[in-house]
Amino acid sequence: MTTSPSGGSLAGSGDAGKKLRPARTNATKQKLFEASMELIGERGAAGVTVDEIATAAGVSKGTVYYNFGSKSDLIAQLLRHGVDILLARLLSVRDDSADPLAAMEEMIGQAMDFMAEYPSFARLWVSENWRTPSEWQDTFAELRGRLLAVIGSAIDSVAAVYPVDSGVSRGSLETAIFGACFVVGLDRQTYNPERTREQSVAAIMASMRGYVVKQPPAQA
């Protein structure tokens, strides 16, 4: 029985100076994350073998099981890792001043950048997110909640400043925007590479602009 670390993601949080303890860098985990993100994004979690992942990461199969307890764990940690990155980007948008609509637009832009940079993560997410009895059900529920909370609070900021359409529930709007980010980002990657970042952001922002009220829509 190998004494594996198998723990959380590659935090390396409070280990500044010492240089030795945290077992070198987490370069191996990082490489495994990158390799599996790529492969799993392309062919799905079930379509990729542990051997392939190990080879792609330039590492032996045993190392995968040393660093992660199982294929399933690897994927769960991969999901957390990706969401951590996305969350960091979304939270980098400082709401403090200015127009909350502009903040929203910047957040969507950050999301589009993320999708462009980590399309494989986006594919993994949409591939596995809605499976009903899934090994990662709880992981997804938690991560989804964390992401939606950020979007939700951005929507709240808008609703606090602008008059909004009360017929649109915040929850549904969150979901629609969140989902649109993934789908528009992926579609751009797969089917419409000529589409610009701005076009994509504008299309998603349309729902925010429709959320803030104008005069009642002109009874045709």
Partner DNA sequence: CTATTTGAACTGACTGGTCAGTTTAGTTAG
Partner DNA sequence: CTAACTAAACTGACCAGTCAGTTCAAATAG
Using CB under 7 A as the criterion, which residues of the chain lie in contact with DNA when the complex forms?
1-5, 19-20, 23-24, 27-28, 48-51, 54, 58-63, 65-67, 70-72
120-150 burial string, b = 16+ CB within 10 Å, else e?
bbbbbbebbbeeeeeebeebbeebeeebbeb
Q: Closer CB to its own copies, residue 11 or residue 46?
A: 46
Query: Closest separation between CB of residue 57 and its own copies, Å?
Result: 19
42 touches its own copies (CB under 8 A):
yes
Task: Give the torsion sign (CA, 80, 47, 126, 124).
Answer: positive
d(CA 50, CA 56): 10
**Choice from 31, 43, 89, 146 touching its own copies (CB under 8 A):** 43
Token pair of 100 as six digits: 């909350």
Residues of span 136-155 touching its own copies by CB under 8 A: 141, 144
21 touches its own copies (CB under 8 A):
no
Query: Closest separation between CB of residue 32 and its own copies, Å?
Result: 21
d(CA 61, CA 137): 26
Q: Closer CB to its own copies, residue 23 or residue 131?
A: 131
Closest-CA residue to 101 (of 160, 178, 145, 182): 160
Query: Closest separation between CB of residue 190 and DNA, Å?
Result: 24
Task: Give the torsion sign (CA, 105, 107, 111, 117).
Answer: positive
Applying CB under 8 A, which residues contact its own copies?
Answer: 42-47, 98-99, 101-102, 119, 122-123, 126-133, 141, 144, 161-162, 165, 167-169, 171-173, 175-176, 178-180, 182-184, 186-192, 195, 199-200, 202-212, 214-215, 217-218, 220
